[in-house]
């Protein structure tokens, strides 16, 4: 997960939620939503390289529907293709080998997806979260 700064200009990695089951995962996410007073949720949608939606994307969409039933916070999807690759490259360039072992590329990828949303020219600043 990642959060923006209060001005809605800069995404920061927040945490990793290790998936257990839908109930525990929804509780963890809604706890973060409440703790940080999240106003918008951006969900990375894992599309295939040709842009199609595969099995994993359908699972993400199904889980997101459950999330929508547990919160009134608006949810939007963003394409997450190649964000993990970008996160790993960024980590390679920015962190020592020892630090890279402690930092999860998933959290960096979440921040990259959120930053892409924040950088969209039509947006106005607001605090956001990425699941």
User: What is the pTM for the complete model shown?
Assistant: 0.73
Residue for token pair 């089951």: 21
Domain locations in the chain?
2-130
Q: What are the beta bridge partners of residue 44?
A: 78
DSSP string, 59-97: HHHHHHHHHHHH--S-EEEEE-TTHHHHHHHHHHHHS-H
- What six digits make up the tokens of 108? 């960096």
- What digits encode the pLDDT tens for the residues 45-81? 887 778 777 888 899 899 999 999 999 999 999 888 6
CATH, domain range 2-130: 3.30.420.140
- What digits encode the pLDDT tens for the residues 41-51? 999 888 777 87
Residue 87's CB is within 10 A of a number of other CB atoms, namely 22
- What six digits make up the tokens of 5? 């700064």
Q: Residue 128 has what pLDDT?
A: 47
């Amino acid at each position: 997960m990642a959060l923006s700064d209060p001005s809605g200009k800069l995404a920061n990695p927040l945490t990793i939620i290790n998936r257990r089951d839908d109930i525990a995962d929804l509780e963890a996410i809604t706890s973060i939503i409440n703790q940080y007073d999240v106003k918008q949720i951006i969900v990375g949608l894992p599309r295939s390289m040709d842009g199609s939606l595969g099995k994993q994307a359908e699972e993400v969409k199904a889980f997101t529907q459950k999330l929508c039933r547990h919160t009134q916070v608006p949810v939007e999807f963003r394409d997450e293709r190649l964000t993990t690759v970008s996160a790993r490259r960024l980590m390679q360039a920015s962190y020592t080998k020892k630090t890279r072992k402690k930092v999860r590329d998933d959290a960096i990828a979440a921040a990259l997806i959120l930053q892409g949303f924040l950088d969209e020219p039509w947006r106005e600043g607001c605090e956001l979260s990425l699941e």
